[in-house]
Amino acid sequence: CHFFFFFFFPPSNLCVAALRSATRDGESVVRAMEFSLSGNGLKTFSRCITCLARIGNELAIEASSSQLEFHTLNSSRSAYQSITFKPGFFDVYTIFGAQVKFSVLVKAVCAVLRTPIQSIDHLRVQLPDPDASKVQWTLECNNGMRKAYSITCNVEPDIQHLALDRNGFPSSLIVRPRDLNRLLANFQSSLQEITIIATETTSLPSDADSETGEKAVELRSYIDPTKGQLVSCEFTNDLNGEYLTAVLLTVDNDSSLHTQLWIDPTEEFVHYNHVGDPVDITFGVKEWKAFVSFCESCEVDIHLYFEKAGEPILMAPKVGLSDASGSNFDATLVLATMLTSQLREENPSEQPQRAASIPAQAVRQKEPQAQPESSHRATASEHPSDQTKIWSDLSGSAARSGSAAAEDRQTAEDRNLSATDLRQSQRLGRIQISENVPAGAPAASRHHNREKGPPEEAQDTPQVNDNAFSQRHPSNWVDATEVDDDDDDDDEDEMCIQSTPPYCEEH
Amino acid sequence: MSSSAVEPEAADLVCQLENVQGMVDSLSAVRWKRHQDAVVELSEHGIVLILEESNCLQAKVYLRKELFAQYDYNAEERPRFGVSLGLFVDCLSTFTVPGRASAIEIRYPGPDMQLLLKSLDSSDACIYAEIRTIIPDTVSWDYNFEPAGSVPLSFTVKSAALKEAIDDLEWPGSSIRINLKPAPPSVSFRGEGHGDLQIDLMYNVNSDLLLDFNCNHPVSHRYKYKFLRATTSNLPSSVMKENRGSKLTIGRGGMLKVQHLVPVGRAPFPNPHVIDSASHQQQPGRIAYIEFFVKPEEEEDDNRND
């Protein structure tokens, strides 16, 4: 009989290894677990691995006679993904014994799947015995090459199970990945966290002039106020030209793009269900995008289950009407949500003032005599535009345009008086604060500190003052005049927000 | 070096190449590092470039005179000079025009021992380049490749497949063991590191992966991954597309020779600016030969050589 390469097998199990006999094409007797895949199953499997790789580092594998489960947890323990395969998913699926558990590095599995799927005839995964230190992943390629990867595995994985009952969530939505990607494209690509605010859809009859579509859902960028960003690194010589100093300019997140998107769930979602008070959930975007890509490549819709801030959300591919495709494969992603609700700090008023009240409250914190600009915001929120309206706030609290067309980002409409009031209050607020703020140097001290000293905001950096997130940071307040130097149309009464790309290009 | 200093008109070598892209491709195939100095030898047979690293890896590019539309060699002794390979290739690349064959003339030496390049494509404009040369190292290590025994140990594998296998072997990294076995006829590449990878190529009638296989006894040697990688890292796309074979031979002491064939294509239409000498072969596929020599790693355990 032929003996195949023995160094595949762990030396501690020599007696077991001696029992193995190999046929010419390398099949060996396996005592723990074996499965093999080809064709479409292999494609799906590869997409699963790609998604898992974007979530966590360690892949826990649990095999039983009824199913094979992969799961991973991200490093900040805020995302847990689980993928379950039924035996019918595979060409071959064999388990010896009750259950096999081990974990591998996801990166190692990615290395196996580097070979293009279309050039693979089949993949075979073998765990020689339950205590094996290596698991074999063998690719038989169409061109005749065989690639046998032997990946170190850890037989004591410490990833816990997380099983959430989908039916336990009061609210849910179903969205097509393509539509979701389109909505997410409005947000800065480097966005880390996002907030979804869900409100109950009322059954208001829509107006004849179609301006009052029911925008029951809001997507809002969430910028963690405690996380700064490195904007630029500037090297300067000191006055004598002798020493090179590096000035690292860190700016807190005012310079980020803040985006809010109001959408009509009946237009954008396949299904939407939420009853009761508005709830908001804030969670990480990176893992969400990974899952969206995964669903898109598998051509399935995304089912998102949620409850409220602080409770995890669950996502799963929406199984189609026909049971056949979804029955032997399932995936779920659980994301932790931020404990503090974005809505909680509002004044307890009704929904139309929801967006208004956060900045109103922020202003109240800083500047007692600030005009309540909630009035103008409430006005604006009562006049949403068609399907989807996009409001990108780059500087100060630009009022929304009530009648802007859906795709028109130019919100250079006439502002009502309250906007001016707001700016007034901003200036007041700023001046007050400038004396005691170490970071975010105001203009006065900027010139003195040109060459060295405290981190200063680069003059060209777009100053963002999104009141919704500024309640904790006085440094967020900006002298509106500095900002408008660049983008205003010489009319200080009119806050003119130019469309985002040219604005950014200037800087 | 040569007596051309006395008569400036009679250069050691004046040659014309119809399509400079072919030369760029051949020389690119031996670029595995940013900074490499090549030794160039001119002879009546053609041009040879030699590169070396760490006494473990050597590469040679043979550009036979038949590849050139015109090849005038006038030196008495074979001129040898050193030139920065990256500089040379980048310079040649500037003469290329995408989608069109571009002809150049190469002349050596210039008044200051430079390598002179001149474009030949148009009569109204000219691209002209001078490349400084250096005195090469006195001794270029001659690998003196000898066959392992009376029967050669070699196999020919599709170039694209070889590159794919070596790229995959990056994952385990470190050193790669090449095994040749006569029965069943097969080649395997094995790397062991944080994980193990073994790539097997079987030789049988059906497979067009291994185009040739000669082995009468098992042989096994280890080579450093980075040197093995250098033999395929920059194979030009023309080689991958044509997907001829690359031949690997194991010589005495385990020295590995890797040979590639790079097409140096002819211009589709005769270039009016190039004087096509009568003796010039009108072959559809003209080839530059690339050879790599990789020294094996020493075996710490039992000698598994022949």
Give residue-wise pLDDT tens across range A350-376: 333 222 222 223 233 333 343 333 333
Query: Shortest CB distance from B195 goes to which of A114, A146, A152?
Result: A152
Confidence of residue A245 (pLDDT cuts 50, 70, 90): low
Q: How far apart are CA B91 and CA B114, in angstroms?
A: 13
Reported as a single tens digit per residue, the pLDDT across B238-296 is: 888 887 889 999 998 899 999 999 988 765 445 555 555 443 444 445 889 999 999 99
Percent of chain A at pLDDT > 70 equals 51
* Domain map (residue ranges) of chain B: 3-141+264-290, 153-261
- CA-based nearest distance B231→chain A, Å: 20
Amino acid found at B247: K
Q: Which of B176, B200, B209 to mutate to test the interface with A (most CBs of A within 10 A)?
A: B200
pTM of this structure: 0.69
How many other C-beta atoms can be found within 10 angstroms of the C-beta atom of residue A146?
19
Is B195–A115 a contact, with Cβ atoms under 8 angstroms apart?
no
Is B161–A114 a contact, with Cβ atoms under 8 angstroms apart?
no
- Indicate the Cα dihedral angle A450, A455, A459, A463, nearest 10°: -160
Q: Which residues does A contribute to its contact with B (CB < 8 Å)?
A: 5, 7-8, 24, 108, 111, 114-115, 134, 143-152
Domains B3-141+264-290 and B153-261 share a fold: no
**Is it the case that residue A419 has pLDDT exceeding 50?**
no
Is A148–B200 a contact, with Cβ atoms under 8 angstroms apart?
yes
**Is it the case that residue B17 has pLDDT exceeding 60?**
yes
Among A41-50, A324-333, A424-433, B170-179, the range scoring the smallest mean pLDDT is A424-433
Q: Which fold would CATH assign to domain B153-261?
A: DNA Polymerase III; Chain A, domain 2 (3.10.150)
Task: Tell me the chain B residues in contact with residue A145 when contact means C-beta distances shorter than 8 Å.
Answer: 161, 164-165, 199-201, 209
Q: How far apart are CA B245 and CA B236, in angstroms?
A: 14
Pairing mode of beta strands A58-64, B196-202: unpaired
CB A198 within 8 A of CB A220: no
Please report the DSSP string for A211-230 in residue order.
------EEEEEE--TT-EEE
Task: Tell me the chain A residues in contact with residue B208 when contact means C-beta distances shorter than 8 Å.
Answer: 143-144
CB A84 within 8 A of CB A329: yes
Please report the DSSP string for B267-278 in residue order.
PSS--TTS---T
B299 touches chain A (CB under 8 A): no
Please tell me which residue, A173 or B148, carries the higher pLDDT value: A173
Range with the largest mean pLDDT of A15-29, A252-266, A389-403, B271-285: A252-266
- Domain B3-141+264-290 matching CATH 3.70.10.10: the answer reads yes
